[in-house]
Amino acid sequence: MPDLKLLYEAVVNGDAKASLAITQQALAEGVDPLILVNEHMVPAMDEVGRRFEANEFFVPELLIAARAMKASLEVIRPLLIARGDKPAGRVAIGTVKGDLHDIGKNLVASLLEGGGFEVIDLGVNVTPEKFIETVNLKQANIIAMSALLTTTMPAMKSTIEALKSAGVRDRVKVLIGGAPITQKYADEIGADGYSENAVGAVALAKKAVAT
Amino acid sequence: MNSRERVLAHLAGKPVDRLPLMPITMMFACQQIGARYRDYCTDYRVLVEAQIRVAETFGFDYVNTMSDPAREAADCGAPVEFFDHQPVALVEDRALLADKSTLARLKIPDPLGGGRMHNGIQAISLFKERVGSEKLVEGWIEGPIAEGADLRGINTLMTDFFDDPAFVKDLFAFVIELELRFAREQIRAGADLIGMGDAAASLVGPHFYEEFVWPYEKQLVDGIHAMGGRVRLHICGNTRRILKGMGSLGCAVVDLDSLAPLHEARQQAAPGQILLGNMNPVTVLRNGTPDLVTAAAAQCHREAGPRFIVGAGCEVPRDTPPENLRALCEYAHQHAP
């Protein structure tokens, strides 16, 4: 039985090889995969988020921690799906149409995944139709949109309107973020939530699925 | 004292009649002449027309050639996407240096070879011809981490710091040579000041900034000084943890984004360092009122002290109410340093 504290440390330190090796060994010895996620990896990503918020970690540290977590999740997720375990929520995330900036979106996606959500990353320059398709085909219950530019943020409004026209607005919570976004703008366009940072986005998503 | 004389005197520590005014405008300037932003990025005549219009309408003390971060990368062969009404953007999933071994074969493009860099240099020549004795002419280059991110892909570069630090240093060394060549031609064309944007520097912490970024920024700044040029450093984002380094590069102007407190920059920068900024361009300048803008400008001035130039934290957004921008400008027009 491996020391599972080492899994926590491997994720926090961004050591993907160690994270994967400990996960594989633990699974081979019969440890419940959900225990690995909930008791070790989620707390590890919480700690990464805390350090990021406290300016102890920066983007490189956060990205390698996320990479370590993903290495383990890749072997864990099929086991959870096979036995019918449900994620905390299913998030379709993307940078809106016309905008190719993705570093902030990627940080949010990683922390959401670390928070126990299934994340469907639609990438950049995502059309409203693509978001709608993901709600319909993959049953996403949260849509998370990012925009870096004041000139692309109107695409958030048009996406929300498209969700209404397609009749799926009531099936999803819409969360938005990005440098030019404010709570006032979120209220104006009828989004369900806004966070000014990546750590806050996880709390927001948890709140959104709880209501 | 005209605009150019005012800025140059202020940079030299000589008396000036009022605070210099140098806000960054790109899409806002383009909107003033009703042009497509695609044309602003690709046709230097459109950029020059728009910059002169906005500078004259609002009483700016300078004009600049900045339009998007992709001039150098595009000339190196990086895939970029053009939009009618937005800045040119790098296509990260097809980044030029996705395969690191490409760096060894990558040639530095000729800045006068008819590409996007050449277009920027032509803008400087036309600025000099039309307003060169009246307005300060500012060129633009990318800094080591910004250009490195454009060539390698920003997400990948962030993990390269851990995975392959030697590659990061090789990449930045290539970028320095590229940017020095670009800067040299801009200075030859008549640029009074070279703007250096190093946006991604705010994403790494002080450890990586000091080890990897600052030494190359310093090489670039020193190289431009050796050519007889001056540098305005602008780093988008939260630079609070790297202010000391930014303030010790020897730049003529350190231009701060809104997340870094000016009073902290004043404490940490070298004595006499000129600071520029830094009200929030969205929540204050675009979404606020003229009174709020005036109050924010006064607050910035108090925090920065007399070695100060008026501007916003980053680009003036395209749909900023003109009366708000006018309030920012009037602060400079009506106040001595």
Q: Which chain B residues touch A100 with a CB distance below 8 Å?
A: 81, 89-92
Res A211 pLDDT > 90: no
Percentage with pLDDT > 90 across chain A: 79
Nearest CA distance, B43 vs chain A (angstrom): 21
Give the least confident one: A43-52, B110-119, B137-146. Answer: A43-52
State mean pLDDT over A20-39.
Answer: 95
The whole-number pLDDT of residue A192 equals 96
Q: Last residue of a domain, which of A45, A61, A82?
A: A82
Q: Do B92 and A184 touch (CB under 8 A)?
A: no
Q: For residues B248 and B243, what is the distance between their CA atoms, to the nearest angstrom? A: 9
Mean pLDDT of all residues belonging to chain B: 97
Nearest CA distance, B147 vs chain A (angstrom): 15
Res A1 pLDDT > 80: no
Residues A171 and A122 placed together within one structural domain of the fold: yes
Q: Do A100 and B92 touch (CB under 8 A)?
A: yes
Do the domain assignments include residue B178?
A: yes
pLDDT by residue (tens digit) across B257-272? 999 999 999 999 998 9
Residues A77 and A110 placed together within one structural domain of the fold: no
Task: Tell me whether A86 touches chain B (CB under 8 Å).
Answer: no
Nearest Cβ partner of A63 from B83, B89, B155? B155
Q: Which chain B residues touch A101 with a CB distance below 8 Å?
A: 89
B90 to chain A: closest CA residue: A100
Do the domain assignments include residue B11?
A: no
Domain membership of residue B278 as a residue range: 21-334
Nearest CA distance, B295 vs chain A (angstrom): 21
Q: For residues A94 and A120, what is the distance between their CA atoms, to the nearest angstrom? A: 9
Task: Tell me whether A154 touches chain B (CB under 8 Å).
Answer: no
Res A100 pLDDT > 90: no
Q: For residues A105 and A146, what is the distance between their CA atoms, to the nearest angstrom? A: 6
Residues A110 and A201 placed together within one structural domain of the fold: yes
Q: Last residue of a domain, which of A82, A107, A127?
A: A82
Q: Do A152 and B317 touch (CB under 8 A)?
A: no
Interface test with A, best of B27, B36, B40, B282 (most A CBs within 10 A): B282
Interface A:B, Cβ pairs < 8 A: 65
Mean pLDDT of all residues belonging to chain A: 93
Residues A15 and A59 placed together within one structural domain of the fold: yes
Do the domain assignments include residue B259?
A: yes
Q: Which chain A residues touch B159 with a CB distance below 8 Å?
A: 60, 63-64, 67
Residues A99 and A15 placed together within one structural domain of the fold: no
Give the A window 169-198 contacts with B, CB below 8 Å. Answer: 179-180, 182, 184
Residues A185 and A203 placed together within one structural domain of the fold: yes
pLDDT by residue (tens digit) across B171-200? 999 999 999 999 999 999 999 999 999 999
The whole-number pLDDT of residue B190 equals 98
Which residue has tokens 């851990």?
Answer: B162
Task: Give me B32's structure tokens.
Answer: 């003033």
Task: Give me B28's structure tokens.
Answer: 């806002």
Output A103 or B337, whichever has higher pLDDT: B337
Residues A99 and A134 placed together within one structural domain of the fold: yes
State mean pLDDT over B294-314.
Answer: 98
Residues A70 and A137 placed together within one structural domain of the fold: no
- The Cα diameter of chain A in Å comes to 54
pLDDT by residue (tens digit) across B204-238? 999 999 999 999 999 999 999 999 999 999 999 99
ipTM of the complex: 0.93
Domain membership of residue A54 as a residue range: 5-82
Do the domain assignments include residue B150?
A: yes
Q: Last residue of a domain, which of A47, A82, A117?
A: A82
Residues A70 and A105 placed together within one structural domain of the fold: no
State mean pLDDT over A100-105.
Answer: 89
Res B157 pLDDT > 80: yes
When pLDDT is cut at 50, 70 and 90, the band that residue A85 belongs to is confident
Number of domains in chain A: 2
Task: Give me A85's structure tokens.
Answer: 């375990």
A183 to chain B: closest CA residue: B283
The CATH number linked to B243 is: 3.20.20.210
The CATH number linked to A142 is: 3.40.50.280
Res A161 pLDDT > 80: yes
When pLDDT is cut at 50, 70 and 90, the band that residue A86 belongs to is confident
- Cβ atoms within 10 Å, residue B299: 14
Angle between helices B154-163 and A103-114 in degrees, nearest 10: 60
Task: Tell me whether A165 touches chain B (CB under 8 Å).
Answer: no
The whole-number pLDDT of residue B315 equals 96
pLDDT by residue (tens digit) across A117-158? 999 999 999 999 999 999 999 999 999 999 988 889 999 999
Do the domain assignments include residue B14?
A: no
When pLDDT is cut at 50, 70 and 90, the band that residue B124 belongs to is very high
pLDDT by residue (tens digit) across B26-53? 999 999 999 999 999 999 999 999 999 9
For chain B, first and last CA: distance in Å?
15
Which residue has tokens 């001035």?
Answer: B301
Nearest CA distance, A131 vs chain B (angstrom): 20
Number of domains in chain B: 1
**How deeply is A137 buried, as exposed, middle or buried, from its count of CB atoms within 10 A (0-12, 13-18, 19+)?**
exposed
Residues A116 and A144 placed together within one structural domain of the fold: yes
**How deeply is A46 buried, as exposed, middle or buried, from its count of CB atoms within 10 A (0-12, 13-18, 19+)?**
middle
pLDDT by residue (tens digit) across B317-329? 999 999 999 999 9
Nearest CA distance, A180 vs chain B (angstrom): 6
The CATH number linked to A75 is: 1.10.1240.10
Residues A114 and A188 placed together within one structural domain of the fold: yes
Do the domain assignments include residue B249?
A: yes
Three-point CA angle B21, B25, B29, nearest 5°? 115
Q: Which chain B residues touch A59 with a CB distance below 8 Å?
A: 158, 203-204
Residues A156 and A202 placed together within one structural domain of the fold: yes
Which residue has tokens 């009828």?
Answer: A190
Q: Do B81 and A100 touch (CB under 8 A)?
A: yes
Cβ pair B9, B22 in contact under 8 A: no
Task: Tell me whether A60 touches chain B (CB under 8 Å).
Answer: yes
The whole-number pLDDT of residue A84 equals 87
